[in-house]
Amino acid sequence: MEYIVNPELIENYEQFKNDLRSRGEEINERLTFHGTRNEAIELIIKTGFKIGGEGVAVASGQAHGSGVYTSEDPAFAMRYIKDGRKRLLFARVCVSSDSKIVKQGKLIQQLIVKNVHQLLPCYIVHYANK
């Protein structure tokens, strides 16, 4: 694992949470995985997540609408790695009233958020298939 520290992204994430509090929304944070190509991981840790169709191409479709897609299930997130690299992003996500949750049993298979400041990349997880 590689720990990610980007002060600007941390500040944006904390400000998003403060904005939710000021609107009376409860803070609900989740830990999720995001699978994408290696080049996108490098951009995300430097500049944050982007929403497909808003200045960047849609990477894998938008079955549940526009937003950034993450998952509590690392195996599910691995499906979206396009370049064969064995790396996932592990991120904190602040769920809001406009977030969409798709469950598989008790596990959140897809968590879709509409604001890029709702996500904070925390680690790059390196893994190997056995």
Question: pLDDT tens for residues 52-67?
Answer: 645 555 555 566 677 8
Per-residue pLDDT at 129 exceeds 70: no
Which domain does 37 fall in, by range? 2-126
* Reported confidence tier of residue 51, pLDDT bands at 50, 70, 90: confident
How many H-runs (helices) and E-runs (strands) does the chain carry? 3, 7
Q: In 1-130, where do the E strands start and end?
A: 2-3, 28-34, 68-70, 87-95, 100-104, 107-113, 119-126
* Reported confidence tier of residue 84, pLDDT bands at 50, 70, 90: confident
The CATH number of residue 59's host domain is 3.90.228.10
pTM to 2 decimal places: 0.88
| Cα angle 110-111-117, degrees, rounded to a multiple of 5 | 145
Higher-scoring residue by pLDDT: 29, 84: 29
Q: How many domains does the chain have?
A: 1
